[in-house]
Structure 1
Amino acid sequence: MESLQLNGLQLTWMNGGVTHLDGGAMFGVVPKPLWSKYYPCNENNQIELRTDPILVEADGKNILIESGLGAGKLSEKQKRNYGVTEESKLERSLIDKGLTPEDIDIVLMTHMHFDHACGLTKPENDGHVSVFPNAKIITSETEWNEMRQPNIRSRNTYWQENWLAVQDQVETFEKEWSTPSIKMVHTGGHSEGHSIVIINSGPEFIVHMADLMPTHAHQNPLWVLAYDDYPMDSIRGKQEWIEFGKSKNAWFSFYHDPFYRAVKWNENGKITEALKRAR
């Protein structure tokens, strides 16, 4: 497991599973000859995308950013359609850190699409139960409302089995939510309720852009996903928060990137420091 120390605060990437999605969808209107220079694809035009939660040990709490792909929840058809080659091994990752799912105090959900939220519950008997029974689950009020009442476009990614068993654990916010070291900010863009996470320890910052910038190759503000419900909001959010991060010499962390866990960029967009994923 890769870890990043931040002035006494630690982030560790868990094993949450892996998908392979269409590269054209992940880079929207950007032509393949451009995006493929930065991100490889297979013979089916699919790109590898991790779904790895980040364990943040801060403020005396064990905090997860996202919940992974889950295990034992996807049908064979869903695995095929989403290019799933590995389901979550999150519990094993936690054990390696000397923890169990019961030790998680807070789960920060930037949004609740299936590839982020499947790990919140697990099958048991004829239904589902909470994976993190002692945790508060934090997401924006807008996201939570759409999760429970999806529209014709979003109902394919907001699944009842990912929220029904945990609804009593969910706490929502309108614009911001924070602890002494962590702040969630509602941005919209990828979904109407999408949020990002800002981590601050002394002079050091980490900006977790979630699916506004799912990989290092999405640094360009105009490189937004075809999956984004509100692409202009994604562009505005990327412009604002990438500029903020660079001004703070911040790390930018990733949930989906199979190559980098986190990077720092200079003003010219060149990587100056990187935490690579062991492959």
Structure 2
Amino acid sequence: MKESLKIGDLTIHWLNGGVTHMDGGAMFGVVPRPLWSKKYAVNELNQIELRTDPLFFQYQGKNVLIESGIGKGKLNDKQKRNYGVHEESSVESSLEQLGLTTSDIDVVLMTHMHFDHACGLTKYEGESLVPVFPNAKIYTSKVEWDEMREPNIRSRNTYWKENWESITHQVETFEEELEVLPGLRMIHTGGHSDGHSIIVLEHAGETFIHMADIMPTHAHKNPLWVLAYDDYPMTSIQAKHKWINQALDNEYWFLFYHDAVYRALKWNKNGEIIEEVPRIL
């Protein structure tokens, strides 16, 4: 079983959703390699390891998942090579270790629908694609869902019909902000994609924030360190500045989907790590 974070009666589990290795320069945008490589490991191909591990927790009587993983059997050999996918999802076996199946998932929160987040929503049964979480409501912003189905010339490379056509009956969208369950909010930020959202959970006197791909790793804490993949980088910077400062001032827990070093951590106002859940290699 992957790592977990327990606060009161809430336990957040990281499932095994696979891995990608993406170009480090693209992941840190205009930041020079001598700077970002001090904060995050890079290989000889200038790639950095980015997990695609969904977060699972039981909350308000519901089985909740954040993101869905890279999927299994969804990528061809060329795609696996280009995206550095050395390991595909084994979300089903991760859930089995918790005594659950994919049919038990009630809620899936999708911060956005890029392939490395959304491939795990569907799977092949023979020649047909079917939902992986057949009984779940899948939440994403209306802007994201609209672009997913009608991508533009830039975004068509990451919004794939294979990831949405068989789940249309499960998707529920929102405009600016949605309280999915008491204390659990999705907030539309834009930036990385036009429809990108973050997730904020307030529980047992703690606040947890999942900033998804406007802050994919702990090394992206500087608001100016944004991805070349971001469609609207200035929007990312503004959202990061707002939410990171708020989180540092109030010592929120940061939760990560992509980080290969930390699952979660908490900084103080001075930017020093005061609590952490390291990823076990």
**Aligned AA for 1:11?**
I
**What is the alpha-carbon root mean square deviation over aligned residues?**
0.7
TM-fit CA distance, 1:272: 1.2
The match for 1:65 is 66
| Structure 1 stretches of 4+ moved >6 Å | none
State the AA in 2 paired with 1:14: L
In structure 1, give the amino acid aligned to 2:123.
K
1:86 aligned to 2:84? no
- Corresponding residue of 1:276: 278
Letter in 2 for 1:225: L
TM-aligned CA deviation for residue 270 of structure 1: 1.6
Residue 173 of structure 1 corresponds to which residue in structure 2? 174
Q: Which residue of 1 aligns with 2:21?
A: 20
Q: Distance in 2 between matches of 1:7 and 1:213?
A: 26
1:114 aligns with 115
Unaligned runs of 5+ in 1: none
SS of 1:71's equivalent in the other structure is: coil
Q: 1:217 aligns to what?
A: 219
Normalising by structure 1, we get a TM-score of: 0.99
Query: Is 1:198–2:200 an aligned residue pair?
Result: yes
Q: Distance in 1 between matches of 2:273 and 2:46?
A: 26
Q: CA deviation at 1:77?
A: 0.3
Number of residue pairs the alignment of both structures matches: 279
Q: Tell me by how many angstroms 1:203 deviates.
A: 1.5
Q: Does 1:37 align with 2:41?
A: no
The 5 A counterparts of 1:258-273 are: 258-273=260-275
1:51-75: CA deviations, max 9, x gaps? Answer: 0000021111100000000000100
Shift of 1:125: 2.1
- Report deviation, 1:127: 2.1
For 2:137, the aligned partner's letter is: K
| Distance in 1 separating the partners of 2:230 and 2:239 | 12
What is the CA deviation profile of residues 214-261 of structure 1, one whole-angstrom value per residue up to 9, with x for unaligned ones?
000000000000000000110011111111212221100100001100
Q: 1:187 Cα deviation (Å)? A: 0.3
What CA distance in whole angstroms lies between the structure 1 residues aligned with 2:136 and 2:250?
31
2:242 aligned counterpart, secondary structure: helix
Question: What residue identity is the alignment partner of 2:244?
Answer: I
Distance 1:257 1:144 in 2: 25
Aligned to 1:55: 56
Question: In the TM superposition, what is the alpha-carbon distance from 1:126 to its structure 2 partner?
Answer: 1.7
Give the counterpart letter for 1:220 in structure 2.
Answer: N
Q: Equivalent residue of 1:92, what SS?
A: helix
Percent identity for Structure 1 against Structure 2: 65
Conserved? CA contact 1:216–1:260, under 8 Å: yes
Paired residues of 1:7 and 1:204 also in contact (CA < 8 A)? no
Letter paired with 1:17:
G
SS at match of 1:20: strand
Moved more, 56-65 or 188-197: 56-65
Match in the other structure for 1:248:
250
- The 8 Å contact of residues 11 and 54 in structure 1, kept in 2 or not, is answered as yes
Range moving further from structure 2, 119-128 or 1-10:
1-10
Q: Deviations over 1:63-97 (max 9, x none)?
A: 00000000001000000000000000100100001
Alignment of 1:135-214 (within 5 A): 135-178=136-179, 179-214=181-216
Shift of 1:273: 1.0
- Any conservation in 2 of the 1:10–1:58 contact (CA below 8 Å)? no
TM-score (norm 2): 0.98
